[in-house]
Every structure is written in structure tokens, then in C-alpha cells.
Amino acid sequence: MNKRIMISLLSYGILIVCICFLPFFFPGPYHLHVLILTMMNIILASSLRLINLSGQLSLAHGGMMTIGAYTSTLLVMKLGFSSWLALLMAGFFPAVIACLVGFPFVRLKGIYFAIVTIFLGEMIVLTAGQWRSLTGGSSGIFNIPRPNPLVIPGIVNITFSSKVDFYYLAFVLMLISLLILYAVENSRIGLTLRGIQQTDSLAESVGINTAGFKVLAFTIGCFFPGLIGGFYSQYISAINPDTFGFLFTIYLLVYMTVGGAERFIGPILGAFILTIFPEVTRPLKAFVPFFFAAVLMVVIFFMPEGIAGLPERLHKAIRKLLEKKTNHA
């Protein structure tokens, strides 16, 4: 058992080192941009899965990112906050909103919950487009300052003047986010959420505060899109209300489903493959959407548990085949 943990820790370590060295192999700004987007999508799809763990589907991620982006931008530009504090607030503010609206929302089940979260997202985007004095209206805000430099005299001096710096920032954010999400999922909270997902009423009958836990999952799940919204606004240094539209949220849902919502690795794989794939096939130009759709459909048709469920299914299939052979012999 100990050996297994050692091996898995070692392989994670190697993977992390590999990701750290990736910019040396792909130094171009375009490649770095795609990698940064991939890491953002991984965090977003994984946080969507945490809400999904409680049996709810939230489609407010785009709206929460918009709130996060404007929160961070306005705190830095109008109130002169440090960009790091603003980044943290960009996560907390959507979480607070999610917590407040969560209590009335979680009374709704299934698709009804999904629909009110869509409307919440749309209302946020609409407000961001109209509140001109604060948000600059539909043209948005430009020239958002870069993150404050990280300086440890003599050792580190990160100025965030190049994409590589943002790459490492995104990587650190991804590591921390995934660790938090993993820890939550494997704690007592995660277990309770799974119980609620399977049978809502049974969980309630044994004394679990299902509404409270659902709101908790919604709140934590909305922290990360806010954080990423803030990060993205500092990275692109511009923000407008349509940056994270409804389609963006739908794509996150696709990443999660294609990767496999059952497993922790699912949304990570889904976001990774489906973000990289259209970029790799870019030379095909107009056919990219068709390829994207084809991948989507093939996975749904032939892999009921998503890409993440594939190894297990292969394993089972091979064992069945072997058993058949031995039976014949």
C-alpha cells in the first residue's frame, strides 16, 4: 500500500516537473496562450463537477466569471487594491452571491435548478453591460494593470511582462485549486454530497441538512470561476460583458461530460483534450467545428462513462476476452 502511494506521488511529481518545463519546448506566445486556456478550463470544469457532485447542474459559471473579472478589475483600478488581494476577492465575491441566492435556488431540483442558474448568469451579464458608470458598458474596460510584481530580493523577480510568467501563475492556481477540490471531495463533505446526489430524500431522512450542503457545494463551486475570471482579466488586461457568455458555460459542461463526471480526473481530461484538439486541427479551418462535434459524439456513443472511464472498460473487456479463451481451452 505504502509503495503504491509512493509510486503515485512520484508520478505526480514527474508530471508537475514536466509541466514546469513545458514553456521551454513551446516558447511561442500562441502555444503558451493555449496552455494557459487549457489550465483555466481544467479548473473551471473541475469546479463545475463539484457542484454536480451534489446532484445539481449549475450553468452560472460564465456569470460568476464575469463578476470575478469585474470585481478584481474595479478593486484594482478604482480602489487601488493590490492585485493579489483583488484576485482573492474576485473569488470570494461570487461565492458570497452564490451563498445568498443558493438558499432559495436549491429548493429547485434537476433541470429547474439549472435553468435558474442560467437566468442568474444572464442577469449578471446584462447588468454588466448596462451599468455604464461602473463597468464601462458593453465596450468593457481596457488597460487593466498587470498583477503586481512578485519580488523576493536576490531570488525571485516576476514582473508578469511576458506570457511565461502568466503560464506559471495559471499553473500554480491550477495546482492549488485541484488540491482544494480533491480535498473537499475526499472529505466528509464530499461523502455527504455523494449521498445527496444518489438519494436526496434518504440523506435528509438520516438527518443530513441537504439544503445546507447543496448551498455549500454551490458556493465552493462558484469561488473558482470567480477566481479564474479575475485571473483572465489581469492576463488579457481587458474585460467586456460578453467575454464569458452562455456558450462558454455550455462548453464547460461538455468538457465535464466528455471527460466523465463520475471521476475526479474526468473534467481534467475532458478540458485538456477538447481545448487542445481544436488548436491542433486548426489548419483544417472551417472543418474544426465538425471535428469537435465528431469527437463529442463518438465519446458519448461509445464511452458511457466518458474518457476517464475508458481504461476500466478496456480492462473489463480484455478480462472477458481472456476468460472466454480459457473457457474454450
For residues 68 and 241, which CB has a smaller minimum distance to another protein in the complex? Answer: 241
Judged by CB under 8 A, does residue 269 bind another protein? no
Residues 282-301: x/- map of binding to another protein (CB under 8 A)?
Answer: ----x--xx-xxx-xx--xx
Q: How many residues does the chain have?
A: 329
Helices vs strands, H then E, count in the chain: 14, 2
One residue of 39, 44, 174, 253 binding another protein per CB under 8 A: 253
Q: Which amino acid is at 233?
A: S
* Contact call for residue 134 and another protein (CB under 8 A): no
H/E element, 152: strand 150-152
Largest distance between two CA atoms of the chain: 80
> Closest distance between another protein and the C-beta of residue 305, in Å?
10
Instruction: Confirm or reject binding of residue 39 to another protein (CB under 8 A).
Output: no
| Residue whose grid cell is 484576485 | 87
CB 191 within 8 A of CB 208: no
Site for another protein (CB under 8 A): how many residues? 36
Q: Of the two residues 36 and 299, which places its CB atom closer to another protein in the complex?
A: 299
* 244 lines the binding site for another protein (CB under 8 A): no
Which helix H or strand E contains 150, and what residues bound it?
A: strand 150-152
52 or 177: CB nearest another protein: 52
Residue 320 CB contacts under 8 Å (≥ 6 apart), including other chains? none
Three-state DSSP at 36 gives: helix
Stretch in the footprint of another protein (CB under 8 A) among 34-42, 90-98, 124-132, 140-148: 124-132
DSSP of 161-199, one letter per residue? -SHHHHHHHHHHHHHHHHHHHHHHHTSHHHHHHHHHHH-
User: CB 79 → another protein: shortest distance, Å?
Assistant: 26
**Shortest Cβ 99–another protein spacing (Å):** 16
Residues in contact with another protein by the rule CB under 8 A = 104-105, 107-109, 111-112, 115-116, 119-120, 122-123, 126-127, 129-130, 246-247, 250, 253-254, 257-258, 261, 286, 289-290, 292-294, 296-297, 300-301, 304
